Amino acid sequence: MQPGPKNLITDIEGLRVGNAHSGRLRSGCTVLLADRPFTAAVQVMGGAPGTRETDLLAPDRLVQEVDAIVLSGGSAFGLDSASGVAEGLRARGRGFAVGEMRVPIVPAAILFDLLNGGDKGWGTNPYAALGRAALEAASPEFAIGSEGAGFGALTGTLKGGLGSASAVLENGMTVGALVAVNALGSATVEDSPHFWAAPWELEGEFGGRGTALLYPAAAEPAPKKRMGEATTIAIVATDAALSQAQAQRMATAAHDGMARALVPSHTPIDGDLVFAAATGAKPLADPVADTFLLGHAASSCLARAIARAVHAATAMPGDLQPSWTARFG
């Protein structure tokens, strides 16, 4: 397993990612889209999720493909980011055909960043405009760290952010992850610079500090955020041809990566969820062996992407928490 050329989810051919954020608002959003509609699924394991159009991702629903997936800050207000993306896609003629109409299918998930020090006294919800801007910015190349949905993110100890990683497998398939890290838990081991995800690091992608010298044997972590202030939201993707049921299993397996990289994770206070996306470019040679490997790769990619998000976050005036680089860099 090796990282792709960009070490981004867009190493999967046909995928693009767009970011938009507001420094005044101290928030933003991120959109994933492809050249054509793609299979998608979701698995929610946190106790406080905020979502849009996730019910239609169940394998027994009518719509089997989506046009884009949105990750956004802004709590419930941020769900309007998907409206901006849907309007932009409709203008491009994208969407589920209903007679002469096209209805873009844009599932979304949000994180809570309303108490991070930004100006939240808006008169009109700004997130639809941010969603439209993120759509227009979508490209195979995009920045991570304090960008898009991760612009105003925090964790239990350090600034959060937007992360991504990829892996090219021996069977020729590619897997990638995209994540906005705003977790209750910590990405680093206690007060050290060492990431919990260190055993899965490839090529020094988040500092190459290796594993910690000492791990807490029986720590009992206490919540450092208040109810509703946390959430890690992610997308794992592949170029494999997966059914919605197979994609959902990949999303389920990817949650292992979240638990490897954030301690604690999946708490009643977090809204942790993982979307899965499959472009369908490469058929499965062995449905059992290939889906097994895709799940493992997705979990590893997500753990790496979480660490990369925190490692790449940058310091800004008014920060409520230090960035990893400011503290350990």
CATH number at 239 reads 3.60.70.12
B/e letters for 260-280, b = 16+ CB within 10 Å, e = fewer, are bbbbbbbbebbbbbbbbbbbb
Count: domains in the chain: 1
Is 48 or 285 the better-scoring residue by pLDDT? 285
Name the pTM for this structure.
0.95
Residue numbers of the domain that contains 164: 2-328
**Is 214 buried (19+), middle (13-18) or exposed (0-12) by CB count in 10 A?**
exposed
- For residue 210, give Cα distances in angstroms to 46, 69, 194, 238: 28, 33, 7, 28
For residues 294-298, average pLDDT: 97
For residues 121-143, average pLDDT: 97
- Per-residue pLDDT tens for 248-293? 999 999 999 999 999 988 888 788 999 999 999 999 999 999 999 9
Residue 130: is its pLDDT beyond 80?
yes
* pLDDT value of residue 221: 66
Mean pLDDT of the chain: 93
- Per-residue pLDDT tens for 189-203? 988 999 999 999 999
* pLDDT value of residue 218: 66
- Per-residue pLDDT tens for 91-125? 999 998 888 889 999 999 999 999 998 899 999 99
Residue 223: is its pLDDT beyond 90?
no
pLDDT bucket at 215, cuts 50 / 70 / 90 = confident
